[in-house]
Chains A and B, each alone.
Chain A
Amino acid sequence: MSKTKVDEINRNIYDIKNKDEYEFKIKKGLTPEIIKEISKQKNDPEWMAEFRLKALEVYNKLELPTWGPDLSELNMDEIATYVRPKSKLNNSWEDVPEDIKNTFDKLGIPEAEKTSLAGVGAQYDSEVVYHSMKEELIKQGVIYTDMETAVREYPELVKKHFMKCVPVSDHKFVALHGAVWSGGSFVYVPKGVKVDIPLQSYFRLNSPESGQFEHTLIIVDEGASLHFIEGCSAPKYNKVNLHAGCVELYVKENAYLRYSTIENWSKNMLNLNTKKAIVEKNAKMEWVSGSFGSKISMLYPMSILNGEGAKTEFTGISFAGKGQNLDNGFKVVHNSPNTSSVVNAKSISKNGGKCTYRSLVRINENAKNSKALVSCESLMLDDISISDTIPVNDIQTDEVEFSHEAKIGKISDKTIFYLMSRGLSEEDAKAMIVRGFAYPISKELPVEYAVEMNNLINLELEGAIG
């Protein structure tokens, strides 16, 4: 496969705005009455209705973070937290309303489902409009459904895990999520079942001045394995939209989970997402993450290595253009002996964009013989862009192997001249350098996402040369 050849794509794909048509849009703001109304609209069981109200109380008590990007422009009184699309949940694309289906068609979801996925979920605004999985996985006992169905049909499994990995007290936006969550996917892979082909959920926010708060809960039971892909995008509006999803991953003994994300939110989006995995004995958790969109992103996936021999890897890239402040990173806690974490993070900033790599590595006292290797590299495409690295390393035992490497670089004129002397235009040369820089990450992505990432890099670089 050629990695350097990139087909032209229509940049309008992500910016298609459907008419803001919905069946129900809750009034803006955040009060107990509004939360009760969401519960009523969603037919919550009693425990969930109570859970939401308690989460709201926690939300009201917690302060905005005092570090990181400035979030003062976010006014929850201006955000509608629940927008139900004019579609029920379907398991056939033909039943999905035309305009919504067209959007997902253009994003390539039904096509990918046919060729390279074992199951697909598609959320539009606050509700999942499509969910389907291959028959053989159903037979093996794999559950892949929208979160609401899971709450209804698997109450014990959900109660035991829902917001236990990420408690509402974690931070303000997790509390908000607990109060207003809607949609998302639930996956359960039974013991020993290997799901060879990925499952993918795609989250699309169409409605202006609204928020998306999907909840993804994945349990990979002992010895099982799964690759889950999450995609997200939204058209651009003039006012702020908010995304505060929550992802909870349970990777049981000897299990394997890879969680891949391509995030391409529009540049009016505040992406305040929370993702966490609990990794048991000899299990492996891999994160692959491409962060391109958003006005502000604060995203720090976290692995908690609870079991002896648990492993995690994080491979991620952020690309910040004009007006973007992407504060991304990774957190890992080593709680047991012989655990290991490997981080390979990259960022690209241009036209005044800002990328920060913010990380935590904590190795507790009992985590003897553990290993934590962190490498982060950033590339700035001009003199007005910003790149920063803020690592926190808390190592409580000497019997570990730990290293942190950080590199910050620019594209040199010499390199551009070299490539231009081989017939590449200045724009081609820059795009090639950037794609090469991103390659160690893009090669980890599913093929169609790697292509999409290359396309995004080209889009982002268009007109970058004055």
Chain B
Amino acid sequence: MKKELLKIEDLHVSAENKEILKGINLKINKGEIHVIMGPNGSGKTTTANAILNNPAYIKQSGKIMFESEDITNLSTDEIARKGIFMSFQLPEEIPGVSVTNFLKYAKNKITGEPVKIFAFKEELKKYMEELNMNSKNMERSLNVGFSGGEKKKNEILQMLVLNPKLAILDETDSGLDVDAIKTVSKGIQMFKNENNAVLIITHNTKILNSLKVDYVHVLVDGKIIKTGSQELAEEIEENGYSQYK
């Protein structure tokens, strides 16, 4: 039996006084990988931000349920503690806070339990190896002076460490070379299991190649206009979005 994780009902969202999402409906069950594709400006990033309740995005109507609980108006940190994670398109830089200390602090906030330092560092090291990350980055300030690829890998590292129930990856693949995309894919595979889910927001299909995607949604002008299987992504790769406009 499929267990429902996230359910978005008729969500309307505006930003800077402009309506961007015009009635989104989406249901994600445990164990699934969903993909949202769409042209620039269609509302992909807005969808991710709205789920995390970024105050810069105003919800006009609609509802977001997570594990049968209404999270529409919870604060971002409460939503994160419920088990939703978002990988940022442009991760923020935090000078003076090392990757290790940041993650330890965040893990403690997410789990509500003290973090065992030795085991934690070992875990971190293991993940960094898997993601081809330089272990020196552990002690560097979070994202400061990181290359674009390092920042994105760092987001995946955070996902693995914080181990959410739902991971939303907002254009994590954009601007990455082929090898880095493979690494990100690998991170997703490591993370993914029967009890969690992934929502990938992208406009290219390379990242999907080695993943078993359950649903592909096409988002155009604030609405999901088509949902299909992995083949839909391939078709868009070939023909673009023009037929949906």
- Judged by a CB distance under 8 angstroms, whether B40 is at the interface is no
Least CB separation from B81: chain A residue = A423
Name A413's contact: one of B55, B104, B158, B162 (CB within 8 Å): B55
- Asked if residues A417 and B110 are in contact (CB atoms below 8 Å), the reply is no
3 tightest Cβ-Cβ pairs between the two chains A and B: A436-B96, A439-B96, A423-B109
B residues at A contact (CB < 8 Å)? 52, 54-56, 75-77, 79-81, 85-86, 88, 91-92, 94-98, 101-102, 104-106, 109-110, 141, 158, 162
Q: How far is the CA of A417 from the CA of B45 in the complex (A)?
A: 14
- A interface secondary structure, majority: helix
> How many interface contacts (CB-CB < 8 Å) are there between A and B?
88
A/B interface sample: 9 pairs, CB < 8 A:
A5-B101, A417-B52, A420-B75, A420-B80, A421-B52, A421-B76, A424-B109, A426-B75, A428-B109
Q: How far is the CA of A232 from the CA of B92 in the complex (A)?
A: 37
Least CB separation from B85: chain A residue = A421
A residues at B contact (CB < 8 Å)? 2-5, 412-415, 417-426, 428-429, 432-433, 435-440
- Asked if residues B77 and A440 are in contact (CB atoms below 8 Å), the reply is no
- Asked if residues B97 and A436 are in contact (CB atoms below 8 Å), the reply is yes
Q: Assuming A426-B77, A428-B77, A437-B96, what are 6 further A-B pairs, CB within 8 angstroms? A: A4-B101, A4-B104, A412-B92, A417-B54, A426-B75, A439-B96
- Asked if residues A432 and B97 are in contact (CB atoms below 8 Å), the reply is yes
Name A436's contact: one of B76, B85, B141 (CB within 8 Å): B141
Q: How far is the CA of A404 from the CA of B43 in the complex (A)?
A: 44
Residues in chain B near residue A435, CB distance under 8 A: 96-97
Name B95's contact: one of A2, A413, A437 (CB within 8 Å): A437
Least CB separation from B158: chain A residue = A422
Nearest-CB distance from A441 to chain B (Å)?
9
- Asked if residues A423 and B56 are in contact (CB atoms below 8 Å), the reply is no
- Asked if residues B101 and A3 are in contact (CB atoms below 8 Å), the reply is yes
Name B97's contact: one of A420, A423, A425, A439 (CB within 8 Å): A439
- Asked if residues B77 and A5 are in contact (CB atoms below 8 Å), the reply is no
Nearest-CB distance from B214 to chain A (Å)?
24
Least CB separation from B91: chain A residue = A418
Least CB separation from A442: chain B residue = B96
- Asked if residues B104 and A422 are in contact (CB atoms below 8 Å), the reply is no
- Asked if residues B55 and A432 are in contact (CB atoms below 8 Å), the reply is no
Q: How far is the CA of A423 from the CA of B77 in the complex (A)?
A: 4
